[in-house]
Amino acid sequence: MFKQVKQNKAYQDVVDQIQEAIMAGTLAAGKLLPAERELKEQFGVSRGTLREALRVLEQKGLIEIRTGVAGGSLVREVNSDTLSENLGLLIRNCAVSLKDLAEFREEMEGNVAALAAERGEHDDLLLLETLLAEAESKLNQGPSGWDAFIRTDEQLHLTLARMSGNLLFQTVLESLYINIHTYYVKYLPLSDELLRENLADLRDIVSAVSAKDSNQSRIVARSHVSRFNRYMEQQAPR
């Protein structure tokens, strides 16, 4: 199944070959990789190099290393969970610059809002109105309702992502909204004025989506992301 590797990049070559076999379906999900001794012979590498490669594959979410009598390296199903986990780590650790985060979100959330306007069904629009009313109700409770307001805001954005009908948009935005609070805490001190401005933006987005105006939906969603990113940049260290 495998060929001997170039010794100057041995572990990466092992990673690449096994990864390609998994992606091609030669190694199916739920199956065990060949035994360690067999893999060493096929690749022509040391035990340490092979184990280093297997650890990388496990970190990528492509295999699960099991110990014990019935142990081995089990091929995992390739799905959106790994993408979500890896993106979540980047966001949660603030490893993405505010500039990059803004550019990414402007394009993605603008496109999501436009698609939601084009593809949303009647029940979806009713849900958006319900979430908008709930967000306003939570905000009117004062500081005690701020956290609930933010959670409702997230649900509204995730509803738009689902309405887009695009699985990648849904997966990426779900991971983003679960983990983006580290940026808010660090760069966006909460206040009633700030959250009411956010609510006004949500009203504009829902209004444009409900009117099936994809162009306006894209414009207001991008404007919302851009403006709030400027607020965060103002708080960032110079």
| pLDDT above 60 for 80 | no
Average pLDDT taken over every residue of the chain: 89
Q: Tell me the average pLDDT across 7-19.
A: 85
Please tell me the CATH superfamily of domain 81-235, with its number.
GntR ligand-binding domain-like (1.20.120.530)
Nearest to 226 by CA among 139, 104, 93: 104
Architecture per CATH, domain 7-75, reads as: Orthogonal Bundle (1.10)
* Domain residue spans of the chain: 7-75, 81-235
pLDDT at 69 over 80: no
User: Residue 122 above 90 pLDDT?
Assistant: yes
* Range 5-27 average pLDDT: 84
| Higher per-residue pLDDT: 51 or 95 | 51
Ramachandran angles phi, psi of 129, nearest 5°: -65, -40
pLDDT in the model for residue 85: 67
Residue at 185: amino acid letter: V
Confidence tier at 114 by pLDDT (50, 70, 90): very high
Helix axes 146-164, 122-139, angle to 10 degrees: 170
> Dihedral angle at the C-alpha atoms of 141, 147, 149, 151, nearest 10 degrees?
-150
Asked whether the predicted pLDDT for residue 169 surpasses 70, the reply is: yes
Position 82 pLDDT exceeds 70: no
Under 8 Å between Cβ of 212 and 196: no
**Tens of pLDDT, residues 141-150:** 999 999 999 9
